[in-house]
């Protein structure tokens, strides 16, 4: 099925060519502008240049469109995290640092995806694909946590799952509270990246992983 139009702009015939894709992009654009609640089905249709009924051929309702945006988000998220982690090379510390930065970068660079994933009210259980994509993204954090935990002093190794959840919570907390140029949230004396790096260093030290680079007190 190669319709008249495969995603590009420009004139089209009766059929759009790639409306499903165009609707997702329209949703992203509108979410970026007005938040995950800030778009309507009709508005996405208008933005894509089709009639208000057309989206119903591709998504049952607005929630399903939003869920697909979130699904795409989790997949890109996993890819970004996995690329940053890179199997823990060249060493756990460097890879872990990259991981945190990649997380924040994703939240800042793709705020529409991020808010669709975590603030859109999309029930994870509604869609097995969504659940799986979310699990795969978390699995990257979990891998990193395994490596970190293994570096803790023997006899005091925390459960990797717990460490992974802690990392997730810290990073998500910073990303969602301070990580987006909202201009609507609190002004900070430091960047989200600096804040996260300091927090991670303190946390890792608490785990018994004393990094030599830790020492410059504030």
Partner DNA sequence: CAGGCCATGTAAATATTCTTTACATGACTT
Partner DNA sequence: AAGTCATGTAAAGAATATTTACATGGCCTG
The site for a copy of itself (CB under 8 A) is made up of 34-38, 118-119, 121, 123-126, 134, 138, 155-159, 161-162, 165-166, 168-174, 176-178, 182-186, 188-190, 195, 198-199, 201-207, 217-218
Q: Tell me the two tokens of residue 213.
A: 């680079």
- Run of H or E residues at 11: none
Phi-psi region for residue 134, left (φ > 0), alpha (ψ -120 to 50) or beta? alpha
Q: Tell me the two tokens of residue 145.
A: 């946590």
- Residue 4 touches which of DNA, a copy of itself, none (CB < 5 to 8 A by kind)? DNA
- In the complex, minimum distance from the CB of residue 55 to DNA, in angstroms, rounded to a whole number: 8
- Residue 143 touches which of a copy of itself, DNA, none (CB < 5 to 8 A by kind)? none
CA distance 83 to 155: 32
* Residue where the block lists tokens 């410059």: 216
- In the complex, minimum distance from the CB of residue 27 to DNA, in angstroms, rounded to a whole number: 12
- Residue 3 touches which of DNA, a copy of itself, none (CB < 5 to 8 A by kind)? DNA
CA distance 211 to 93: 9
Q: Exactly one of 17, 35, 158, 208 binds DNA (CB under 7 A); which one?
A: 17
């Amino acid at each position: 099925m190669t319709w008249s139009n495969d995603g590009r702009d420009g004139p089209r015939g009766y059929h759009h060519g790639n409306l499903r894709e165009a609707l997702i992009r329209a949703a992203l654009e509108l979410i970026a502008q007005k938040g995950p609640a800030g778009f309507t089905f009709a508005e996405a249709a208008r933005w894509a240049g089709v009639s208000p009924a057309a989206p119903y051929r591709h998504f049952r309702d607005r929630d399903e469109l939003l869920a697909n945006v979130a699904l795409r988000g989790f997949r890109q998220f996993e890819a970004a995290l996995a690329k940053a982690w890179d199997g823990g090379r060249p060493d756990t510390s460097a890879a872990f640092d990259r991981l945190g930065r990649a997380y924040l970068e994703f939240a800042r660079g793709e705020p529409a995806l991020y808010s669709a994933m975590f603030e859109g009210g999309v029930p994870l259980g509604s869609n097995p694909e969504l659940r799986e994509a979310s699990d795969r993204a978390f699995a990257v954090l979990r891998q990193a946590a395994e490596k970190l935990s293994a570096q803790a002093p023997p006899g005091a190794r925390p459960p990797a799952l717990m460490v992974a959840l802690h990392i997730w919570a810290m990073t998500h907390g910073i990303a969602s509270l301070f990580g987006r140029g909202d201009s609507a949230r609190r002004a900070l004396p430091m960047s989200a990246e600096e804040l996260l790096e300091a927090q991670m260093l303190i946390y890792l030290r608490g785990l018994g992983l004393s990094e030599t680079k830790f020492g410059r007190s504030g």
